[in-house]
Amino acid sequence: MTRLDKIRQLQQEASALEPEASMRQAVQQEVQKYAHEFLEAIGTMNAFNEDDAKGAGLNAAPIGETGRSITSLIDLVRKEVDHPALNPASGGHLGYIPGGGLFYAALGDYLADITNRYAGVFFAGPGAVRMENMLLEWMAGLAGYPAGTTGNLTSGGSIANLIAICTARDAMGIISTQIPRAVIYSTAYAHHSLEKAIRIAGLGECQHRYIPTDKAFRMDALALEAQIQQDKTEGLKPFLIIGSAGTTDTGAVDPLERIGEISARYGLWFHADAAYGGFFLLTDEGKEKLRGIASSDSVTMDPHKGLFLPYGSGAVLIKNRIQHLATHQYQANYMQDALTSTDELSPADLSPELTKHFRGLRLWLPLQLCGLAPFRACLQEKLELTRYFYEEIQKLGYETGPEPELSVVIFRRIPKTGDADTVNQKIADAIRADGRVFISTTRINGQFMLRFACLSFRTHLYHVEVLLEQLKMHTHEVVVSIE
Ligand SMILES: *Cc1c(COP(=O)(O)O)cnc(C)c1O
């Protein structure tokens, strides 16, 4: 066989990678049928399915030389992926931090994947990069950040926090010899992704002060300032304060305004982690609660939480573009074509990534199609539902944590006799076994707590009523009947 014959033969063999119109339609029809079926049923689907196999059936269909039919593959997805355990698309998902998965965001992804625009570098994909920068500018406006703020659409809050921590490290001149003397401040309720980011950034040997909190689990600003003063007196180098704008455990908002003042007074970097709470800025109430967020140097917010996007959407904003670029900008010879354009900053110069998913379109499309009003209403609905739940749960005899600041409630039932932790674990297990709604649990000051978190755009009064009914029933079975 000549080389040309060989090339033609290979092209023929590879042709399945570019299906013709009829084939595209046939496969797409099956995919759409399943998506439609899923969305039509989502209102009655469980939020949690106990399933012992945990998707192990996937192993029976190994990757092989020849392909399989789309119907057999969708069957696998339906049974092995979309059935077991948590169903995050369900409005009954009231655990961890719910998100959702807006349909229009999926269409944005679909288009981004079909056209495969390159959103890493402005030269290659000016429209795509401009779209992402415009979305970040909109978020900067929400946070009260000034013009000239830079940012990055990340895969989530963890990477956003990492970008902020690395920038803070360099901006504050924390070089290797300084690390053991450098001090980081947060409460014990800061998200664990920050600890992870600190370690990955090479800052694991810094001093980390966990500042005491008030009764509502918010940082005690007086204690923060006293600790900074003491550390300075001892010759240490305070450099970073991490404030939470909505902790994952309890939804507590640290006193951002006070932290901003202290940070400025001592010349430290203030990072605000608003991965969960950030988009409540779209509500008047949230804006009030998050007052002072504009005084931070960097902020993390997760569109896959507060804007209900499918997973894979976080964001970081950094006030000082020079410092953001100093940590992330790189130039390589093979990128020389990209260096001629300076119109807009490129995501590749503002994050660890080069080639990346075009994340802007999945965010831009739903925001443009729906406008902001339904987002604001949905977020306000979550705040009201949370207050409703907080009041109703007390009527059922539950002890509650502080009045919710945003959309998280911690609560537990204290039995007259017996161990409270065991009883509450049993209640959580019973709710999980029923499956219609899902709540998670946490430990606060060593105590086992049930946890309600309301942030899915599909969560409505109905789901809260189901949860209350479940709690009433299981409290009776587990606690009252033995008291
Ligand atoms: C969810 C969350 C994170 C981590 O974000 P991911 O998107 O899960 O990576 C960080 N901080 C807070 C407060 C969060 O709620």
Contact yes or no for 100/457 (Cβ under 8 A): yes
Give distance in angstroms: CA of 23 to centre of ligand 1: 40
323-332, 336-345, 449-458 — most confident range: 449-458
Q: Determine if ligand 1 sits within 6 Å of the CB of residue 102.
A: no
Q: What is the dihedral of CA 159, 165, 171, 172, to 10 degrees?
A: -170
CA–CA separation, 270 and 161 (whole Å): 12
Q: Determine if ligand 1 sits within 6 Å of the CB of residue 120.
A: no
CA–CA separation, 216 and 79 (whole Å): 43
Q: With cut-offs at 50, 70 and 90, classify the pLDDT of residue 338.
A: low
pLDDT higher than 80, residue 158 = yes
Residue 272, judged by CB atoms within 10 A of its CB (0-12, 13-18, 19+), counts as buried
pLDDT higher than 70, residue 341 = no
Give distance in angstroms: CA of 308 to centre of ligand 1: 14
Query: Which ligand 1 atom is the nearest neighbour of the CA of 304?
Result: 7
Q: Determine if ligand 1 sits within 6 Å of the CB of residue 276.
A: yes
Q: Determine if ligand 1 sits within 6 Å of the CB of residue 454.
A: no
Contact yes or no for 356/347 (Cβ under 8 A): yes
Query: Which ligand 1 atom is the nearest neighbour of the CA of 245?
Result: 13
Q: With cut-offs at 50, 70 and 90, classify the pLDDT of residue 340.
A: low
Give distance in angstroms: CA of 276 to centre of ligand 1: 6
What is the arithmetic mean of pLDDT over 171-198? 98
What is the arithmetic mean of pLDDT over 285-297? 98
Say what the pLDDT of residue 332 is. Answer: 75
Residue 174, judged by CB atoms within 10 A of its CB (0-12, 13-18, 19+), counts as buried
Q: Determine if ligand 1 sits within 6 Å of the CB of residue 97.
A: yes
> pLDDT tens across 358-380, in order?
999 999 999 999 999 999 999 99
Ligand 1: which residue has its CA nearest to atom 2?
275
Give distance in angstroms: CA of 386 to centre of ligand 1: 20
Kindly state the percentage of the chain with pLDDT values over 90.
94
Crossing angle of helices 221-233/256-266, nearest 10°?
20
Q: Determine if ligand 1 sits within 6 Å of the CB of residue 249.
A: no
Q: State residue 237 phi and psi, 5-degree precision.
A: -120, 85
Contact yes or no for 228/312 (Cβ under 8 A): no
300: which strand partners? Answer: 273, 316
DSSP state at residue 245: B
User: Which tokens hold the place of 16?
Assistant: 């399945």
Q: Determine if ligand 1 sits within 6 Å of the CB of residue 156.
A: yes
Q: With cut-offs at 50, 70 and 90, classify the pLDDT of residue 301.
A: very high
pLDDT higher than 90, residue 105 = yes
Contact yes or no for 221/259 (Cβ under 8 A): yes
Name the amino acid, one letter, at 149.
T
Q: Determine if ligand 1 sits within 6 Å of the CB of residue 302.
A: yes
DSSP state at residue 93: B
Query: Which ligand 1 atom is the nearest neighbour of the CA of 276?
Result: 15
Ligand 1: which residue has its CA nearest to atom 4?
157
User: Which tokens hold the place of 112?
Assistant: 């981004």
CA distances (Å), 436 to each of 45, 50, 120, 216, 265, in order? Answer: 7, 11, 41, 30, 50
Q: Determine if ligand 1 sits within 6 Å of the CB of residue 271.
A: no
Q: Determine if ligand 1 sits within 6 Å of the CB of residue 251.
A: no
Q: State residue 241 phi and psi, 5-degree precision.
A: -115, 130
Question: What is the b/e burial string over 32-66, where b = at least 16 CB atoms within 10 angstroms of the residue's CB?
Answer: eebeeeeeeeeeebbbbeeeeeeeeeeeeeeeeee
Give distance in angstroms: CA of 197 to centre of ligand 1: 12
Kindly state the percentage of the chain with pLDDT values over 70.
98
Q: With cut-offs at 50, 70 and 90, classify the pLDDT of residue 342.
A: low
Query: Which ligand 1 atom is the nearest neighbour of the CA of 159?
Result: 9
Give distance in angstroms: CA of 406 to centre of ligand 1: 15
Residue 208: count of CB within 10 angstroms of its CB? 18
Give distance in angstroms: CA of 223 to centre of ligand 1: 26
Nearest to 86 by CA among 476, 444, 393, 453: 453
Say what the pLDDT of residue 339 is. Answer: 56
CA distances (Å), 200 to each of 253, 348, 371, in order? Answer: 26, 19, 38
What is the arithmetic mean of pLDDT over 409-425? 94
Q: Determine if ligand 1 sits within 6 Å of the CB of residue 158.
A: yes
Q: What share of the chain is helix, strand, coil (3-state, %, to 5)?
A: 50, 15, 35
User: Which tokens hold the place of 248?
Assistant: 């994952």
Residue 292: count of CB within 10 angstroms of its CB? 21
CA distances (Å), 17 to each of 10, 14, 23, 28, in order? Answer: 12, 6, 11, 15
Pocket test for ligand 1, best of 161, 247, 271, 276 (most atoms within 8 A of CB): 276
Range of weakest confidence among 75-79, 281-285, 445-449, 460-464: 445-449
CA–CA separation, 408 and 308 (whole Å): 16
Say what the pLDDT of residue 480 is. Answer: 75
> pLDDT tens across 230-288, in order?
999 999 999 999 999 999 999 999 999 999 999 999 999 999 999 999 999 999 999 99
Q: pLDDT higher for 99 or 67?
A: 67
Q: With cut-offs at 50, 70 and 90, classify the pLDDT of residue 159.
A: very high
Say what the pLDDT of residue 149 is. Answer: 96
Contact yes or no for 69/30 (Cβ under 8 A): no
Q: Where are the beta strands (DSSP E) in 356-428?
A: 399-400, 408-412
Range of weakest confidence among 333-347, 380-394, 418-432: 333-347
Give distance in angstroms: CA of 355 to centre of ligand 1: 23
User: Which tokens hold the place of 269?
Assistant: 């970097």
pLDDT higher than 80, residue 304 = yes
Q: Determine if ligand 1 sits within 6 Å of the CB of residue 119.
A: no
CA distances (Å), 93 to each of 54, 99, 132, 259, in order? Answer: 19, 9, 29, 33
Say what the pLDDT of residue 478 is. Answer: 85
Crossing angle of helices 360-370/373-395, nearest 10°?
90
CA–CA separation, 61 and 58 (whole Å): 6
Q: pLDDT higher for 481 or 304?
A: 304
Ligand 1: which residue has its CA nearest to atom 6?
157
Give distance in angstroms: CA of 275 to centre of ligand 1: 5
Nearest to 455 by CA among 192, 278, 242, 244: 278
Pocket test for ligand 1, best of 97, 153, 196, 309 (most atoms within 8 A of CB): 97
Ligand 1: which residue has its CA nearest to atom 3?
157
Query: Which ligand 1 atom is the nearest neighbour of the CA of 156?
Result: 7
> pLDDT tens across 212-221, in order?
999 999 999 9
DSSP state at residue 213: B
Ligand 1: which residue has its CA nearest to atom 5?
157
Give distance in angstroms: CA of 304 to centre of ligand 1: 10
Q: What string of H, E and C letters represents the secondary structure of 306-364?
A: HCCCCCCCEEEEECCHHHHHHHHCCCCHHHHHHHHCCCCCCHHHCCCCCCCCCCHHHHH
What is the arithmetic mean of pLDDT over 317-343? 82
Q: With cut-offs at 50, 70 and 90, classify the pLDDT of residue 7.
A: very high
